[in-house]
Structure 1
Amino acid sequence: MPGAGSGAGPGPGVESGAGDEERVARAALTRVIEPGDECGGRWLREFGAGELLARLASPEYEEPALPGATARRLAGYRMRVAAADPDRDLAAVAAVGGRFICPGEQEWPTQLDDLGDGRPIGLWVRGQADLRKWALRSVAVVGARACTPYGAHMAASLGSGLAERGWVVVSGAAFGVDGSAHRGALAAGGATVAVLACGVDVVYPRGHAELIGRIAEQGLVIGELPPGDHPTPSRFILRNRVIAALTRGTVVVEAEYRSGSLVTARSAQKLGRFTMGVPGPATSGLSAGVHELLRGESVLVTDASEVAELVGDIGDLAPDRRGPVLPRDLLDPASARVLEAIPARGAVAGDQVARGAGTTADEALGRLYELHSLGFVERRGDRWQLTHSAIRSSNARRGGT
């Protein structure tokens, strides 16, 4: 499993990239600019964190100093800047064993840069592992909050199966599929990352206090929002783009047509990531969104090995899908044709068997005696019939009862 990150206290885990001033300015901006704000991201790219913070804080800077910013929007930003205290936030995240990482630093997952101007300003992180290393081999498992027992079972099975194969399971720590995927990974002693739509020191949902605590100890809890900040509906939706960008692929387990999980999957598709869906009953509304994905460019998967084969490297192959090997499957082709020529009920003469198998009477007779010694057929006078065990085997092969 990848090693832990370095450092402690405000701004740890940095060996290259952003300096202290840049980190402090970006920490402040996480209180000012909402996640996914591409206009703010463009300003950040053009002016740098320190200069942008200064422009937002000073009333001397007006439009067009910040292209696209109306007077009303600037006023809103400036109210937030006035209330921002990055030193307090950095101390708060350090108090819960966390840190703040920025683009350009060693621990920054560079795949988040695929989001362009919508990439996070920085990430608040709890946990000892190195986020960049973990994200290199990670898969998102997301789905309905109000999932069915089937959905919970499939999510937990995927979580544990991926963890056993050395994959990091990423999800949003919500009720339902998210929580089941996290628990599956934890139960297998594996790695899991929770991406929150609030501060990493905030427990949301409340009912997952123990789970989020376990993830922080055994895995990583990350988010774009500073300590103490609360979730909103729009922040949940915007959080999903981080889940999609961070991972190699996204698996959706149960989702209605308007589910936020579909937002994650579509974000993954736009970013060129793999998107997968677990099928469910055609009559279930909770499977409707997944089936919609599967009618498009997403791939149907049923277990962790299929997910690993799709998103993994050469050698991560799922086992061949086939039923149990039956004794008759091991017969050579000629004997199998003779056996198939004997009806399920009643006895037939050897010459009838030969005609049915397309062979000579002598060849058929020799094969019948071989089949007799193997327990497939029995002789009744000059006629041959299947044994009871052969009939059961034939029914099983054909899906009968």
Structure 2
Amino acid sequence: MTAGEDPDGERLGRVFLARVLEPGDEIGGRWVREAGVAEVARRLREGREPLPGVSVTRWAGLVARAGHAQPARDLATAEAAGARFVCPGDAEWPGQLDDLADARPLGLWVRGRPSLRVWALRSVALVGARACTEYGTHMAATLASGLAEHGWVVVSGGAYGIDGAAHRGALAARGATVAVLACGVDRTYPRGHTALIGRIAEQGLVVGELPPGDHPTPSRFILRNRVIAALTRGTVVVEAACRSGSLATARAAQRLGRFTMGVPGPATSPLSTGVHELLRAEATLVTDAAEVVELVGDIGELAPPRQGPVLPRDLLAPAVRTVLAALPGDRAAPVEEIALGARTTRDEAIARLYELRALGYVERHGDGWKLTRQAMISVRGGRRPC
């Protein structure tokens, strides 16, 4: 919609309200649901009759903000920055955001060419501590690149630490990533991520609720997290202390019925205590991208089973392994002793011992049999018996 169109239209009305109401304002969301965008915008512009649910003081503050709102200018500023306004009813609107009910965004400002709705359908949130460890950075980047290689979109908050590592990991794998900001999408926060946010806008999407030029505040970061949780199929917390804001994303995901996952860290690390508490409650432990995809993906997208290396003795028949295990490790033993240890007959033990000799596991010593040096290493793991 251009600046010359109906100022009371749905889109301009939502842009106007986005300047007046704070993100996640459930009272304002109820007004919009019950009275409609145009009516709420009209009442705020006129400022005479307060809408229900707010005090006189708060109503006066909203009316004052309404007096400074210029939705046409916001749209023009966004367009100059390469951004668009996507709102409910648009083809690009992600329907899963409607799960937020009255806390649903009035609309989202989006920078980047891809469709937000299409990308959100197959997306996972990766969040965690800003002041993270090298382990956390490594895990976030590895998970993100793995998810990108599996065809999943990585969503995070563009912040320092885990967020930045997640975005970079996805970009390094030539994958898709979305940064959900707690400020206007024409601004860069944090400043140190100017180049990263610019690269995400070129290769992926930069998204935010706040109008152009708006600045972040602590409460806006927390409210932003509900959008990350609602957009995605599941949230992975990589590293977080007990009071980490990233846990708010996990809690929002749980309330919305999304998958909640956590990456375990060292038991002694303060930056993993929040994740561990999450795992003790309701989250699912994950350690790589395949495990994440198994949880959030379609039926049949299973992580490969984990198993140790296949040892040569694993390929032996059970009866042969039993005879092999009956040989002492420090001396040659007679056939009778070996048969007794293997709980089999003498003839059966001799037959299996000749098989083992052909494979290089045992050798004949007079009337007895003994493990070879190579068998000692492969069968006993290189450790001599006590």
TM-score (normalizing by structure 2):
0.96
From 39, 45, 50, the counterpart of 2:27: 39
Aligned pair in 2 of structure 1 residues 396, 207: CA closer, same or farther (>3 Å)? Answer: farther
The alignment status of 1:29 with 2:17, answered yes or no, reads: yes
Structure 1 CA distance for aligned equivalents of residues 268 and 2 of structure 2? 52
Cα separation, 2, equivalents of 1:345 and 1:126: 71
Q: Does 1:208 align with 2:193?
A: yes
CA distance in 1, matches of 2:67, 2:23: 19
Q: Tell me the residue number matched to 1:349.
A: 334
Range with greater deviation from structure 2 (46-55 or 226-235): 46-55
Runs of 4+ residues over 6 Å off in structure 1: none
Q: What is the 5 A alignment of 1:310-325?
A: 310-325=295-310
Residues of 2 paired with 1:283 and 1:45: CA distance?
Answer: 48
Contact 1:10 1:94 in 2 (8 A): no
CA contact (8 A) 1:10 1:99 kept: no
Matched, 1:286 2:274: no
**Alignment pair present for 1:260 and 2:248:** no
Q: Does the 8 Å contact 1:342/1:353 carry over to 2?
A: yes
Q: Deviations over 1:63-104 (max 9, x none)?
A: xxx111211111111111111111111111111221001112
User: What is the identity, as a one-letter code, of the residue corresponding to 1:317?
Assistant: L
Identity %: 69
- What are the superposed Cα offsets for residues 233-262 of structure 1, whole Å, 9 maximum, x if unpaired? 000000000111110100001100011111
- Measure, in 2, the Cα distance between the counterparts of 1:395 and 1:252: 40
Q: TM-score, length-normalised on structure 1?
A: 0.92
* Mapping for residues 1-400 of structure 1, pairs under 5 Å: 21-62=9-50, 66-396=51-381
Q: Secondary structure at the match of 2:240?
A: coil
Q: Which amino acid aligns with 1:345?
A: D
Cα drift, residue 272 of structure 1: 0.5
- Kindly report the root-mean-square deviation, in angstroms, between the aligned alpha carbons of the 2 structures: 1.6
Select between 299-308 and 47-56 the one with higher mean Cα deviation.
Answer: 47-56
Whole-angstrom distance in 2 between the partners of 1:255 and 1:344: 49
* Cα distance between partner residues in 1 of 2:214 and 2:324: 72
**Cα shift readout 1:300-359 (whole Å, capped 9, x = no counterpart):** 100000000011111211011001111111111111111111223222211211111121
- CA distance in 1 between counterparts of 2:321 and 2:291 reads 33
1:59 corresponds to which letter in structure 2? G
Residue 211 of structure 1, CA deviation: 0.7
- Structure 1 distance, partners of 2:329, 2:83, is 70
**Is this contact kept in 1: 2:376–2:382, CA < 8 A?**
no
Shift of 1:278: 0.5
- 2:155 is paired with a residue whose SS is strand
Once the two structures are superposed, what CA deviation does each residue of 1:268-316 show, in whole Å capped at 9, x if it has no partner?
A: 0111111111001110000100000110111110000000001111121
Distance in 1 separating the partners of 2:78 and 2:369: 81
Work out the number of aligned pairs and report it.
Answer: 381
CA deviation after TM superposition for structure 1 residue 396, in Å: 3.7
Q: What runs of 5+ residues in structure 2 fail to find an aligned partner?
A: none
- Output the CA distance in 2 between the equivalents of 1:10 and 1:138: 32
Letter in structure 1 aligned against 2:64: M
Matched to 2:46, the amino acid is: S
Deviation at 1:20, TM superposition (A): 8.5
Cα distance in 2 between the residues matched to 1:396 and 1:41: 65
Q: Give the superposition deviation at 1:10.
A: 5.2
